[in-house]
Amino acid sequence: MTEAARKTQLANGVRILTRRMPHVRSVSMGVWVNAGARDEAPAENGLSHLIEHMIFKGTERRSAYDIAKELDAIGGNSNAFTSLENTCYHAKVMDAHVGAMADILTDIFLNSIFDPLEFERERPVILQEIGMMEDSPEEHLHILSGNNLWGDNPLGRSILGTRENILRFDAPTAKQFFCNRYQPDRISIAAAGNLSHDHILELIGPAFDAIPTGCYFPKRETPSANPGISTHFRKLEQQHIGMVGPGIAIGDPKRYAFSLLSTLVGGNMSSRLFQEIREKRGLAYAVYSYVSSYADTGMFGVYAGVDPDHTLPAIALINSILRGFGEACVSDDELSGAKEYIRGSLLLSAESSDNQMVRLAQNEMHYGRQIPLDDVIHKIMAITPEEIRSLAAELLDPEHMALTILGPTATDLSLSGWYDIPLEL
DSSP state of 235: -
The closest of 56, 31, 47, 57 to 175, measured between CA atoms, is 47
> Is the dihedral angle over the CA atoms 57, 60, 65, 66 positive or is it negative?
negative
Ordered alpha helix ranges (H), 13-84:
47-54, 64-73
Buried residues in 177-211 as b, exposed as e (16+ CB within 10 A): bbebbbbbbbbbbbbbbbbebeebbebbbebbeeb
The closest of 160, 49, 63, 173 to 108, measured between CA atoms, is 63
The closest of 336, 135, 362 to 236, measured between CA atoms, is 135
- State the helix-helix crossing angle for 47-54 and 116-134, rounded to 10 degrees: 120
Q: Which residues are catalytically annotated?
A: 52
Spatial CB neighbours of 37, under 8 Å, sequence gap ≥ 6: 45, 46, 48, 49, 82, 83, 84, 154, 157, 158, 159, 161
Q: Do the beta carbons of residue 325 and residue 265 sit within 8 Å?
A: yes
